[in-house]
Amino acid sequence: QVGVVVQNEHDSKVYKTYTISVPMDKAPKLSQVSVHERKSGEELDVTKESISGSTQLYRATLRRGLQPGEKLSLNIDYLFVSLVEPRPKSVGQSEDQSWLWEDQSLVASVYPTRKQKTVVKTRGDVLRFTPLDAAKDGRHSVVFGPYTTEKSSRVEVGFKDNKEQMEAVTHRREYFVSHWANDLNVLEHYALRNRGPELSGGFDKVDQMVSKYMKRRDNLVKTLLVKVPADAREMYFVDEIGNVSTSAVSGRRKGEEPFKVLQLRPRYPMPGGWNYTWWHGYSVPLDRYLKLSSAQPRHLLRLPFIGSLAGCASQEGELTVAMANAQNTVVRAYELRVTLPEGARDIDVKLPFAGQALLQPTKYYFDSVGRTVVVITHENIAPAMSSRHILVSYSYAPLTLWMKPAVVAAALFMLFMLASAASRMQYGLASSAKKPSNAASKAAKKQAAAGKTD
């Protein structure tokens, strides 16, 4: 977070916007940027502008124009992903993990800076920092500055942190809406990577078993925790080989959130730098997420934008919702797909951020007119965004619910008619002369017998 006090030093010009600058070396890792007025706490509208030199510009619209000589206090919140790197890049299986944060001493800005102080807070103990004239404020904080010059220099902080840090290289979440079955099916595809330091010397199974029985920590992620609704059912866990049976579900405990924990145990523990690809899914009642607007006959579908995933090295048999709230997984490339029921029309999508939703037509089994899939893509998803929702509204006529049974009935009727017609067809070779009937054949036999008697 960057707190700034902005002053209009122009003699007559009134400023209605404030420009934010993000260096291009950090822009690919930026998840979101937001601006709030410090006094009122109101959030300002932020739009992405063009690239100027080596910086990406954003523009925040002020609630009212900043008059000459007037001051305004703003809080600018940047949310980056994968901004710290492991140092050293490889460690032993049970050694401590160290991380390095580095940046410029001054925040990038298109405006002249009169004075700045930089405070870096870490999750673990601070091990080292550069330059050495900075002040260490406790075990988890370093203070750089205050600076009164516009000349920026490189600063860095090294700290210890043994918590798991996961990265989903790709993640696709799919919703399938069924009005007929009152069911919302959720399917998630993951390509996951452990961002921790790589193993030096390779994986040691003996060391892993010793750590397990001695209850000693190591750097291996053994369980993946997924928060699912308390009424979730029909859960499954599949990877590229097939069904994975090493999974379990922890029930909701008294006083906890209305969630269960789906414990996914990969086929192998994940040291730093290792990857794992899988997909899992479950079903929930649709009426928990779908409402009918009273003002007009429209359906309102409110869905979580992204799910929650946490990597865990714990050996406990039952892992709780609190452990699943660790929020240690970032997503680099994300795709959300919402498949609406056949016959949904006048579709409108509201996103919790600036973006665009695409509407793609598709067809499934026994579809007649097809259905619409809402597709949303985003990059650099931080764990904090798991609490956001999207709102999909659409019109759906009551008679449309019977479209699928009518198509199925028509298909069965056509199949019956084809089978009936096929049973009446003659597939053998027909003779040139007509075969005598049974009555004529019996009369001929009687005449032959009478002739022999005479």
Rounded to whole angstroms, how far apart are CA atoms 244 and 280? Answer: 10
Question: Exposed, middle or buried, 22 (CB in 10 Å: 0-12/13-18/19+)?
Answer: buried
Confidence of residue 183 (pLDDT cuts 50, 70, 90): very high
Q: Residue 14 corresponds to which tokens in the numbers above? A: 């009134």
Label residue 367 by pLDDT band (50, 70, 90): confident
Read off the pLDDT of each residue in 18-39 and give the average, rounded to a whole number.
Answer: 90
Please write the tens of the pLDDT for every residue from 106-163. Answer: 888 888 888 888 899 998 899 999 988 888 888 889 998 888 877 888 899 999 998 8
306 φ, ψ to 5°? -150, 155
User: How far apart, in whole angstroms, are the C-alpha atoms of residue 90 and residue 273?
Assistant: 9
pLDDT confidence band for 360 (50 / 70 / 90) = very high
pLDDT of 133: 81
**Residue-level pLDDT at 437:** 56
Mean pLDDT of 34-53: 88
pLDDT tens, 297-332? 789 999 999 988 988 887 565 567 777 777 788 999
Task: Give 201's pLDDT tier (boundaries 50, 70, 90).
Answer: confident
Asked if 253 and 280 count as a contact pair (C-beta separation under 8 A), the reply is no
Task: Report pTM.
Answer: 0.83
Largest interatomic CA distance in the chain: 144
Look at residue 436 and tell me whether its pLDDT is greater than 60.
no
The lowest-confidence range among 65-69, 195-199, 226-230, 324-328 is: 324-328
Q: Give pLDDT, residue 412.
A: 87
